[in-house]
Structure 1
Amino acid sequence: AGVRSGWAIMSNGKDAHTKDNPSKGSLKESLDDCMEALDLFLNNRFRESMERLKPRVNESMYHALIYATVLEMQAMMTFEQDDISNAAATMKRAQEVCQRSVCPLLEVMEQLHAEACFAECQLQRASLTFLQDENMVSFIKGGIKVRNSYLIYKELHSYIQSKDSLVGPSHLHLEGGVAFGIGAFNLTLSMFPARILKVLEFAGFSGDKVYYIYSSSIFTFSSFSLYIFITVPPLYLVQTSSCMLRFRTKLCMYVMAVCLFEDGCKAQQEWKQFHHMCYWELLWCFTYKQLWKMAYFYADLLTKESRWSQAMYVYMKAACLSMLSKDESRPFGEDEVELFRQVPTLKQKIAGKSPPTEKFAIRKARRYRASSPVKLPVPVLEMMYMWNGFTMIRKCPELTDAMMQTLLEAERTLAAAPGNDYSVDDYCVIQLLKGLCLQNQGRLHAAEECFNNVEKKIRYDHYLVPNALLELSLLCIDQNRRDEAIKLLHKAKTNYKDYSMESRTQFRVHAALAKLKVSPTEQEEMTRM
């Protein structure tokens, strides 16, 4: 692992390339050609882009890497085993091309580029390893690849910052690639809670916090959306890209976003999987506007076309239908109770684990197994909380006001119904979501009261108490009540375990403590209190 062979030929920081080296000029030519292929891809001309890359995949590291990356993107979107296997084999060949490029016959700058490309291949092969097999051997192999990739990026970054660093015509490409690689690792590491970070540091990982515009709303992204964002270079250069249209929309208010997402679908028809990303966002756009049948429509499209999370899509279909009144007609004659009952049968595993959101949906759907099921009060809004939706509508008071009316109606319905095993849990769900709406409205005292109303006598939805403590701590932060916020965060962090979406809550707690700049010493003092 690490930056290996070619560095030995450097002498006093000077380039060891000679005029007889047959590779002279090939690096610049490869980069220029790959940039043109990338432009074709980002302008939705996918087939032309691949045809441009393919002839040189066995000789040029950048052609090999980008060609393999596109195939991996396709595999991650289709989730088909044949596509995953093809991408894995192509990425392995790309790594071999990179390895051949690290040799004493080539100039130092090209060797450095080869190391960076090798590190990227290692990282992408690791992700495919996790998808291909679910056994422990695969996890270990994938983990080793991730660690090797990190160490290479780390050494390249140290070299680039040193006084011996070479500067040539392709240096900006190298510097950008390495900075992006090490920055992505650092950002990821900075978001881990301390207990996980200790294990990672033992394995050789370390990192400083790095922020970018998307990090503040990271949990509104699907994992694949984030993957696209971190693997595709400057998308802002290509305004008509179907990828770009989606990410531009993230910067707009959701009430104004529908047209842009629809444009994202119209921009190209070759890769339908990009449409699925837009369908997912359109589902939430219409959820925020409480247009339940339109939200259902996009959830239904996803169940028909996407393999990513059938359990989640069917749950959202059922949840949208359950928000309709009894008298309203159901699209396609579907019944929400039957849909909820299907959810547990649709769970999947990725890297040997069921996605946390699917586990959450399955737990919520369990109450519908009974012959006389107890209706969930506001399942769409509850799932919306899990995807950070109340933060997304904070700047849209009309949407928050409409949400509050829906929650008040649900509260009245619950109060008028006979008590049952789920009554306390349902009351606490409504209180948590009401608190979020009140906080958005600036009614902080009322919001605090709602968060405090979340009881500890919950029977099923144990995630509610630590999340109520978290939201109350964030409210305290907004009011400069630092000490109180730290106590609440510590309580949420240490007193509750093994609840739904625990990792998500722990990440948010960790981020809040970091925002308050709570030192390890302070945290230890809290532990003793």
Structure 2
Amino acid sequence: MANNDVENGEEVFVDAAEEVCGMDLSTAMEEARLACSYFFNNRFEEARTLMRPWAHKSMYHGLGYGTFMYLQAIMTFDPKDIETAIETLKQSVEVCNRFRRKNTIGESLGKMVKKVDYNSFTKEEIHAELCYAECLLLRAVLTFMEDETLISFLKGGMKIRACYQSYKECWYILEGRDWSKDADKMHFESGVRMGVGAFNLMISQLPQKILKLLEFVGFSGNKSCQKSLGLSELERGFHLEGSLRRVLCALVLLGYHLIATYVLGTSEGDLVMAQTILDDHLKLYPNGAWFLFFAARLEYVKGNFDLAIEKYTTSLNSQNEWRQFHHLCYWELMWCCIMSAQFKEGEEYADKLLQESKWSKATYAYQKASCMCMRMDELTPAEKQELSETMRSIPGLKQRIAGKSLPVEKFAVKKSLRFFAQGERLCLSALELIYAWNGIKILAKKYENIEKIYSIIERELRRLEKIRADNRSEYYYDDYLLANLLKGSCLAYMNSPLQAEECFKFIVSNEKKIKEDTYLVPNALLELGLLLLRANDLEQSRIILEHAKNNYKGYSLESRLHFRVHATLNKISTLQKGSQSVGSNPMDSYPSISRSPSPCHSKTSGTTNGTGPHLKPTKNGKSISTHP
């Protein structure tokens, strides 16, 4: 493509690439690779300094610099950092757009009736399309974080749609271009597989009500195979040795297998795959804070809390340049301590976060206070005063992030008010947080861990049962049923399903006695559904889960339950109907799948059709475990 300029009264045609950048593509990719090496070896400022001078001219420098600013913004949640990252990525998108293929009207119309000749695209044009998609995705995420207006949601949604369309075009380029003479194919391929894989994985995790919002900006589709296909593409990108985006495929896979699956409670992470990735990348970056962090996280999800504490401390001490990274380690260390019933130590890490981090001070304050509540009988008068002051501060610390109040902050505020309403005491507050963050499954990895927590629950139940009826507070059954939910959740993993079932049914049968904690009942129904799934009673499990999803609204942390219900219903559907066959193109639509009407709802669910970002399945699918 050519742009005209005027020099000495005559038109001069200048090649676009020469006009906007004096750096060739190979050098740009090599510098991006070097910046990546700096970054994962804790030389963060050097990485940023290498990218900054050419960020307004070179697509790879623009992408690299924008990515570093994006990471800083999401770690701090500082409005100034978010604004800076948005402006940087806006510039990066513009730079990439200059190099993209510009079709005439005739060429655009021609694409509808004949196959595009991707061999006619220059190397700059195909890499610009990929960098453009990556920058646009980061820009869209920050748009959602910017403010709470509908316009921001629509702008972000449209950017994600444009990003998806670019990745779709990149896939067609990867499939339709002759790469026999292109030594850089692996760099392009790893980026395409990372983007397409991440899209599949992201869409597969979303509850139906969120997908309905995305349908407004053009997304729809069947999600039955998206998770496995997304993981498959990311793994293929990871196995492209020497490719520029291989390390990013590794990070997405580690984030999914070690964090997302456990925070959302949607499935079990592939710990063998995570170990393979870590073994590989710790050889490349032995002191890299990010991979040391994930090595610690792997020990955490295995239930090896003492070893995890040791490794998180190593990650923490590996660098001092990004203090925000220390906060991630403090968060994990806090959970290691809570899960191993070291509540004093957990309180100290929560206090560090409260003093230093800007993410959610209401959450940190409540976590600190909840750990103190677990030690109520041993607190000094000064500590009791500190506890009261911390609880009293929580409502004033609530903020709006990503345009709305965080559900965990609303939960913290409600519990802080409850603390004073029932005589400055809370029941099993830190263990309630373990349940809310889907930690029981991790506790169950080691019997001694879950047994320790179970004994604390039993002790509290005995205390509550000794309270005479005429001395019980108005929140007595809230506390008593919470203890039963925690007890049943532990028993479910301690090979006592019948006793666990009794706990959950007891909660449901006493629903009308609950004053405030209405979330207990739908969660008890979820746990009942999971017990039935483990017993292979798929239909009864589905009925109970549908009932929990459709008949309870407006309770605390509702979205967390919906993620777990959504994932479990998908698993049941897969087990009942079997895998669906799809075409070979990951961007083609799947056949529609009819959904059975919910026995707890008078309306029937419709079929799902669409053209969401799908990938082809493997011919030999793995069997699906019934263990949620």
What is the TM-score of this pair, normalised by structure 2? 0.75
CA deviation vs aligned residue, 1:206-265 (integer Å, no higher than 9, x gap): 45422456358526459xxxxxx9xx9995542321111111222213422001100111
Q: Secondary structure at the match of 1:467?
A: helix
Q: Does 1:150 align with 2:192?
A: no
Shift of 1:100: 1.3
Shift of 1:192: 2.1
Amino acid aligned to 1:461: D
Distance 1:128 1:109, change over 3 A: same
In the alignment, the residues of structure 2 paired with residue 100 and residue 243 of structure 1 have an alpha-carbon distance, to the nearest angstrom, of 33
Q: 321-330 vs 239-248, which deviates more? A: 321-330
Amino acid aligned to 1:399: N
Partner in structure 1 of residue 87 of structure 2: 89
Q: 429-438 vs 55-64, which deviates more? A: 55-64
Instruction: Specify which of 501, 504, 512 is matched with residue 448 of structure 1.
Output: 501
Partner in structure 2 of residue 46 of structure 1: 44
In the alignment, the residues of structure 2 paired with residue 278 and residue 20 of structure 1 have an alpha-carbon distance, to the nearest angstrom, of 46
Distance 1:199 1:57, change over 3 A: closer
Distance 1:104 1:489, change over 3 A: closer
In the alignment, the residues of structure 1 paired with residue 84 and residue 50 of structure 2 have an alpha-carbon distance, to the nearest angstrom, of 19
In the alignment, the residues of structure 2 paired with residue 21 and residue 289 of structure 1 have an alpha-carbon distance, to the nearest angstrom, of 58
Partner in structure 2 of residue 308 of structure 1: 359
Partner in structure 1 of residue 286 of structure 2: 239
CA deviation vs aligned residue, 1:410-467 (integer Å, no higher than 9, x gap): 1112122321211111111111110111112111111111111113222211111111
Q: Does 1:250 align with 2:297?
A: yes
CA deviation vs aligned residue, 1:88-135 (integer Å, no higher than 9, x gap): 211111111101112579952321211121122222222222333333
Partner in structure 2 of residue 290 of structure 1: 341
Q: 460-469 vs 183-192, which deviates more? A: 183-192
Partner in structure 2 of residue 14 of structure 1: none
Partner in structure 2 of residue 427 of structure 1: 480
Instruction: Specify which of 597, 617, 622 is matched with residue 524 of structure 1.
Output: 597
In the alignment, the residues of structure 2 paired with residue 377 and residue 135 of structure 1 have an alpha-carbon distance, to the nearest angstrom, of 38
Amino acid aligned to 1:145: K
CA deviation vs aligned residue, 1:364-408 (integer Å, no higher than 9, x gap): 2221344x6352110101111111111111111111001011001
Partner in structure 2 of residue 101 of structure 1: 99
CA deviation vs aligned residue, 1:326-354 (integer Å, no higher than 9, x gap): 23437867532332222111111112211
Shift of 1:145: 1.4
Aligned length: 504
Q: Does 1:385 align with 2:438?
A: no
In the alignment, the residues of structure 1 paired with residue 56 and residue 215 of structure 2 have an alpha-carbon distance, to the nearest angstrom, of 37
Q: 153-162 vs 51-60, which deviates more? A: 153-162
* Map 1:195-344 → 2, pairs under 5 A: 195-206=209-220, 208=223, 209-211=226-228, 212=231, 214-215=256-257, 218=260, 220-221=262-263, 237-252=284-299, 253=302, 254-255=304-305, 256-329=307-380, 335-344=386-395
CA contact (8 A) 1:150 1:205 kept: no
Partner in structure 2 of residue 69 of structure 1: 67
Partner in structure 1 of residue 624 of structure 2: none
Q: 90-99 vs 294-303, which deviates more? A: 90-99
Q: 474-483 vs 150-159, which deviates more? A: 150-159
- What RMSD, in angstroms, separates the aligned Cα atoms of the two structures? 2.9
Amino acid aligned to 1:437: C
In the alignment, the residues of structure 2 paired with residue 192 and residue 79 of structure 1 have an alpha-carbon distance, to the nearest angstrom, of 23
In the alignment, the residues of structure 1 paired with residue 145 and residue 177 of structure 2 have an alpha-carbon distance, to the nearest angstrom, of 41
* Map 1:4-15 → 2, pairs under 5 A: none
Shift of 1:20: 13
* Map 1:189-200 → 2, pairs under 5 A: 189-200=203-214
CA deviation vs aligned residue, 1:264-323 (integer Å, no higher than 9, x gap): 110000101101000000000000111111000000000111000100100011100011
Amino acid aligned to 1:472: L
CA contact (8 A) 2:39 2:47 kept: yes
CA deviation vs aligned residue, 1:473-519 (integer Å, no higher than 9, x gap): 11111111112111111111111111111111111111001111256
Distance 1:340 1:194, change over 3 A: same
CA contact (8 A) 1:486 1:513 kept: yes
Q: Does 1:124 align with 2:138?
A: yes
CA contact (8 A) 1:404 1:437 kept: yes
In the alignment, the residues of structure 2 paired with residue 398 and residue 185 of structure 1 have an alpha-carbon distance, to the nearest angstrom, of 39
Partner in structure 1 of residue 608 of structure 2: none
CA contact (8 A) 1:219 1:388 kept: no
In the alignment, the residues of structure 2 paired with residue 411 and residue 320 of structure 1 have an alpha-carbon distance, to the nearest angstrom, of 18
Q: 345-354 vs 104-113, which deviates more? A: 104-113
Shift of 1:201: 3.3
Q: 146-155 vs 396-405, which deviates more? A: 146-155
Name the % identity: 39
Partner in structure 1 of residue 399 of structure 2: 348
Amino acid aligned to 1:524: P
Distance 1:498 1:53, change over 3 A: same
Instruction: Structure 1: give runs of 5+ residues left out of the alignment.
Output: 7-18, 223-228
Instruction: Structure 2: give runs of 5+ residues left out of the alignment.
Output: 3-14, 104-119, 232-252, 265-273, 578-592, 604-628
Shift of 1:177: 1.4
Partner in structure 2 of residue 409 of structure 1: 459
In the alignment, the residues of structure 1 paired with residue 383 and residue 317 of structure 2 have an alpha-carbon distance, to the nearest angstrom, of 25
CA contact (8 A) 2:154 2:217 kept: no
Distance 1:395 1:331, change over 3 A: farther
Q: Secondary structure at the match of 2:71?
A: helix
Distance 1:402 1:277, change over 3 A: same
Q: Secondary structure at the match of 2:227?
A: coil
CA contact (8 A) 1:42 1:235 kept: no
Amino acid aligned to 1:492: A
Partner in structure 2 of residue 12 of structure 1: none
Distance 1:215 1:463, change over 3 A: farther
Shift of 1:66: 0.9
Distance 1:65 1:404, change over 3 A: same
In the alignment, the residues of structure 2 paired with residue 148 and residue 310 of structure 1 have an alpha-carbon distance, to the nearest angstrom, of 35
What is the TM-score of this pair, normalised by structure 1? 0.88
CA contact (8 A) 1:153 1:181 kept: yes
